[in-house]
Amino acid sequence: MSLNLIKLCVGCESVEELEGWIALKLDEKRRAGQPVESFHTTRMVPKRVDELLAGGALYWVIKGGVQCRQRLLDVRPFVDAEGVGRCRLILAPEVIRTEWQPRRPFQGWRYLSPEDAPADLAGSGADDELPLHLRKELTELGLL
């Protein structure tokens, strides 16, 4: 069974901004001749790696709610230049939009079970076309 992670997307105002940042980083790596892969560095190494890599994703909280996810491809622990243990979460570059789900701020990442994860928006219906502020308000009212 797969397992997911959830993390705040600090400094990002929108899903579009996250997509732009990912595209910029991948382009910089391509031009520098580095491996072209999307990753997020974190201090803590997940212990449930096998479950995460069995189809899990990293769900991003942007502006108070889960709004999108990226598939997890690998988890790579490493030691940085200062000798601190860290971890790279290797992610698929595609950002998949999800239903808006409210989340309070928290530090680091958390495990997120498939039952608690919001559904993907792609192909889920007419609400795909609603602007975020309307989806957010309708979700808070229990109408979506």
3-class DSSP assignment, residue 49? helix
The residue type found at 65 is G
Name beta bridge partners: 62: 65
The single residue listed with the structure tokens 């797969």 is 2
Q: Round to whole Å and give the CA distance between 67 and 57.
A: 13
CA-wise closest residue to 52 among 114, 97, 116: 114
pLDDT score, position 128: 55
- Model confidence at 107, pLDDT cuts 50, 70, 90, reads very high
The contacts of residue 10 (CB under 8 Å, 6+ apart) are none
127-144 residue pLDDT tens: 556 666 676 677 666 665
Give me the mean pLDDT over the 52-61 stretch: 97
pLDDT score, position 127: 53
Least confident of 7-11, 23-27, 100-104, 135-139: 135-139
CA-wise closest residue to 77 among 94, 61, 89: 89
109-133 residue pLDDT tens: 999 999 999 999 865 554 556 666 6
Question: So where are the chain's domains?
Answer: 4-140
